[in-house]
Chain A
Amino acid sequence: MSDEGLETTVQVTGEGAVVELRGTVNRGAKEVMEAAYVEAAAIPGEIVLDFSKVDYINSTGIAVIVGMLAMARAEDRQVAAFGLTDHYREVFEITRLADFMNIREDASAAD
Chain B
Amino acid sequence: MFLRRRSKRSQETGQTDPVPETHTRTLDPIEIPPGDVLETLLLSAGGPVELAAIEAESDTINRLHEDGIELVVPLIGQGELLGALYLGQRLSDQPYSTDDRRLLGNLAAQVAPAMKVAQLVREQQAEAKERERMKQELEVAALIQQTLLPKELPSIKGWNVDAFYRPARAVGGDFYDFIDLGNSRLGVVIGDVTDKGVPAALVMATCRSMLRAAAFNHDSPSAVLADVNDVLVPEIPPAMFVTCLYAIIDTDAGEVVFANAGHNLPYVRTADGVIELRATGMPLGLMPGMDYDDKVHELSDGDIMVLTSDGITEAHNPVGEMYGFSRLMGRVAATKNNDMVNSLVGDLERWTGPDAEQEDDITLVVVRRTASAEGSAAVFHPAEGEQLLAEFSVPSVEGNERIAIEKVSAAISSLGLEEARLERLKTAVGETVMNAIEHGNENDSSLDVGIRVIANSSRLVVRVTDRGGDKEIPEAATPDIEAKLAGEQTPRGWGLFLIGQMVDEVNRVRENGSHVVELIMNREGEG
Contacts and interface: CB of A to CB of B under 8 A. Distances in A.
Contact of B427 (A60, A73, A91, A99): A91
B492 A96 contact: no
Number of contact residues on A: which range applies? 20 to 34
Interface string A93-110: 011110110000000000
Mostly helix, strand, loop or mixed at chain B's interface?
helix
Interface stretch (B60-68, B359-367, B400-408): B400-408
A73 B487 CA distance: 10
A66 B424 contact: no
A35 B352 CA distance: 37
Nearest to A66: B491
B501 interface: yes
Contacts of B481: 66, 95-97, 99-100
Contact of B420 (A1, A86, A97): A86
B485 A66 contact: yes
Interface in B453-504: 479, 481, 484-487, 490-495, 497-498, 501
Contacts of A63: 490-494
A58 interface: yes
B324 interface: no
B519 to A, nearest CB: 15
A62 B494 contact: yes
A59 interface: yes
A69 interface: yes
A94 B497 CA distance: 9
Contacts of B71: none
A1 B498 contact: no
A97 B481 CA distance: 8
Contacts of A1: 342, 402-403, 406
Contact of A59 (B402, B424, B434, B485): B434
B443 to A, nearest CB: 12
A70 B487 contact: yes
A100 B498 contact: no
A79 to B, nearest CB: 11
Interface string B388-427: 0000000000110111001000000000000010011001
Given A73-B485, A90-B420, A59 B495 contact: yes
B491 A64 contact: yes
B498 A95 contact: yes
Interface of B: 342, 398-399, 401-403, 406, 420, 423-424, 427, 430-431, 434, 479, 481, 484-487, 490-495, 497-498, 501
Given A60-B495, A99-B481, 18 more contacts: A3-B399, A56-B402, A58-B427, A58-B431, A58-B434, A59-B492, A60-B492, A63-B490, A63-B494, A67-B491, A69-B485, A70-B486, A70-B491, A85-B423, A87-B423, A87-B427, A100-B481, A100-B485
